[in-house]
Every structure is written in structure tokens, then in C-alpha cells.
Amino acid sequence: MVFGLVLPMAGQNLINVGVGMCDTLMLGRVSEKALAGASLGNQPFFLLTLVLFGISSGASVLTAQYWGKGDTQTIRRILGMAIRYALMVAVVFSLCTVLLPDKVLSIFTSDQEIIAQGIPYLRIVGGSYIFSAVTVTYLNIIRSVEKVMVPMCIYSISFTINVIINSILIFGPAQMGTSGAAIGTTVSRFVEVILTLTFALRINKTVRFKITDLFQKSKDLFQDFVRYSGPVLLNECLYGLGISMHSVILGHLNGEAVAAYAIAYVVMQLSTVVMFGVSNASAVIIGKYIGAGEKEQASNAAGTLLILSLAVGAFGAILILVCMPLIFALYSLSALASEYLRMMLIVLAITTFFKSITCTIIVGIMRGGGDTRFSLFLDAGNLWFSVLLGFLGGYVFQWGVTAVMILLNVEEIPKTILGIWRIRSKKWIKDVTRNQIEQPVNSLEEA
């Protein structure tokens, strides 16, 4: 059961990382400024995806346990509620990035050349956020009902389209640079949402979603959604802001650090695809056991999943170190940026081992078990402590890029210690389902 869930989820994560890697590989061949501009231009989408991931992950806490109970009717209502809120957030992000791209980019860097490269990218890609709101939310939630092959297939198709369009527009006669990358990304996201809606409305027989589900209201379900999804959403928002602060802090040191971090971050994502597959599968497995009333099996499964996370973390760390020569061969960087990249990869290799453990604990076991409040404290609290250390090191004490990078990633060690202690206590096991939920009210009819 574990590997039947892990492998498709890891495949989906690999494809998602491949989209980002495709942009950085191609734009890295154009110039460091183009690479840095697109990288920072992706920061608003990174923040949005974390909000979407927060909404969908919070909804998945409920969905996985209701799946264990076999209650697909309630799962439909959860889907409608989550997509509705995701669309609201995406509209705000789209308006800000399309209308005020220069203001948004100036948050992340003061380098005017990088901002100039990022503005056309952000203006074009901002409109696609609405497509992603539907796609990301729906596909993340249906993984909780063990529909794991569908997301991988949809993202595979969009990735192929993205690569083809990018290669034509960036390196073809048009030589469109960052604008070409933005067009490729936007078209691929449009294809994603069309395929997702086709599956949701026409094909999926397990959970037959309808457009009217977007407008249904249930007081009981809303209260549960806020109670268990709220901490997850807040966690992802704080996490997203914290990771973006990494770019802000490094971006104000120098442009070479931004370019190096853009590559290092993609490499880290690539090395952690299996890790996130394990953590996402863990949430489904744990939630299903608890929803079915099998709490002891959930506890035993948590121990097995932790052992698996150790092996996956070690593999990811070794992969980064072994692939370093290949990584340098793929990018054209200055001597200073290359030195920064070498140092960052070593730091991230060490971080990856611990991150595998904490990701399985927080995203998988705790959230699947309904322990969303403690996971908020564990994840966001430690992250922002490391951001504070990085800010002090970079802005107050004027330390170098290496020292700041270490400070920004030191969080994983205390998270690992506290996370293992929480799992051993078994306080994370919480049944979040209801035996009976009030009938929904259609908000269109109310109006």
C-alpha cells in the first residue's frame, strides 16, 4: 500500500520540480539576470501554491479520515469548499502581480536589472494563478481518496507542453527570454485546468464532483474545516513567507547569491521528490486508519514511515553531493556565483536528511492524525527562528553568504528532536470526523 501511493506521488513531485528546473536550465543559458528575474518572479506563485497547499492539505486532513469511513458525500462538500476559497485567494494574487509587478519584485530584490527581467514574466504568468487554484486544490485533495495516478498523468502532459513551448520561445527565432518562459508556463497551466475539470466533472465516479458543490454551505463542516484546516493554512502561509524571506535576505546580499540560490533550490526540490511522496502518502495512510477507527494500526504505521523517511533522507543527501559536477556543467555561472552554489549545495545536502524526517512527521503523520495545531507550532515556530538568525547574520552582523545560508537552514535539527518526541507520545492521534453532518444549503438559492 505504501509504495503504491509513494511512487505516483513522487512522480508528480518530480514533474512539478521539472517544470521549475526546465525554466532555470533554459534561462540559465540566457543570462544570470534572466535566471534571477524569473526565479524571483516565481516567488509570488510559490507563496500562492503554499496557500493552496494549506487549503488543500487542511481539507485532506478531513478527506482522508472521511475516506476511511466511506463517506464520499461529505468529501464532495469538502472539495467544493476548498476550491471556493482557493479561487478567492488566487484572484487577489493575480491582480497584484499583473497590475503591480515592479512593486511585487522590489520586495525580493533591489537590483533593477533583475526587476526589469522579472516584470514581463510576472505580468504574463499572473493570470494563470486562477487556473492553478482549481488544479492544485482538486488534485491534492483527491490523493486522499487514493486517486494518485490522475495528478501524475495531468502534470506529465502539462510538463511536456511547457518544455516544448519554452524551448521554441526562448531559443527559437523569437528569442523571448523570460517572456517566453512565462507564456509556456501559462499555456501549460491552462491545459492542466481543462484536464482537471474534465476528470472531475465527467470521469471520476468515486467522488462525483459538481459545479453546484462550490456553492453549498454546511455549518458543521465549515467549523471542522476552520478548526483543522486553519492551522494548516496558517502554517503554509508562515512557511511560504519564511522561505521567501530566504530569497529576500540572500537577494539583498548580491545578485550572484540570488542566481546560485535559484539553482540550489531547484536541486534541493529534485532531491526531495521521494521525501514528499512519502509524507503525502503518510497522511493518506494515517488518516484512513484513524477514520476507520484503527488507531493502534495508525501508531504502528507511523513508526514504519519514520524509518522509511530516514532512508529517503539519506538517499536525497547523497544524491545532491554525487550530482554536484553535473549541476555545474549544466549552468553558465560566474566564478563567485559558482562558489556560492557549491557551498549552498553542501548545506542543503545536510538539511535534506533532517527535512525528510520532519516532513514525514509534520506533513504526513501529524496532519493525517489531525494534530494540526502542534504541527503549526513545530514547523512555523522553528522556521521563523532561523529566519531571525539569518536576518541578524546578514543585515546586523554583515556575515558572508555561507554563514547566512547555514543560519537559514538550522531549523531542521530542533524540529526533528521535538517531532520524534511528539510521535512517541501518541498525542497526535485525533479522530476529526462526525457521525452525522447537517444537510448543506446552496448559497445561490439563499441569495
Least Cα distance to 11 among 137, 151, 143 occurs for 151
> In this predicted structure, what is the pLDDT of residue 447?
34
112-125 vs 255-271: helix crossing angle, rounded to 10? 40
- 442: β partners: 216
Kindly give the confidence (pLDDT) of every residue in the chain, 447 residues in length, as a single tens digit, with 9 standing for 90 and above: 666 777 887 777 777 767 766 776 787 777 777 777 777 788 888 788 888 988 998 899 899 999 998 888 899 999 999 999 999 999 999 999 999 888 888 887 777 888 888 888 889 999 999 999 999 999 999 998 888 899 989 999 999 998 999 889 888 887 787 888 889 989 999 999 999 999 999 998 888 888 888 888 888 888 888 888 889 889 988 987 888 788 788 877 877 888 888 888 878 777 788 888 899 899 999 999 999 899 999 999 999 999 999 999 999 999 899 989 988 888 778 888 889 999 999 999 999 999 999 999 999 999 999 999 999 999 999 999 999 999 999 888 888 888 999 999 999 999 999 999 999 999 999 988 887 666 555 554 433
Query: What is the C-alpha separation between 70 and 288, in angstroms, rounded?
Result: 10
Q: For residue 446, what pLDDT is reported?
A: 39
Q: What pTM was estimated for this model as a whole?
A: 0.80
Q: What angle do CA 224, 230, 234 make, to 5 degrees?
A: 170
pLDDT score, position 438: 60
Residue 92: φ, ψ to 5°: -60, -45
Length of the chain: 447
Nearest Cα residue to 192 out of 12, 3, 437: 12
pLDDT in tens, 186-232: 999 999 999 999 999 999 888 888 888 888 888 888 888 888 888 98
**d(C-alpha 199, C-alpha 204), whole Å:** 6
Buried b (16+ CB within 10 A) or exposed e, 320-359: beebeeebeeebebeeebbebbebbbbbbbbbbbbbbbbb
Say if residues 400 and 182 touch (Cβ distance below 8 Å).
no
Contact at 8 Å (CB) between 130 and 87?
yes
What pLDDT score was predicted for residue 244? 78
CA pair distance 209, 176, nearest whole angstrom? 40
CB-count burial class (<10 Å; 0-12, 13-18, 19+) for 20? buried
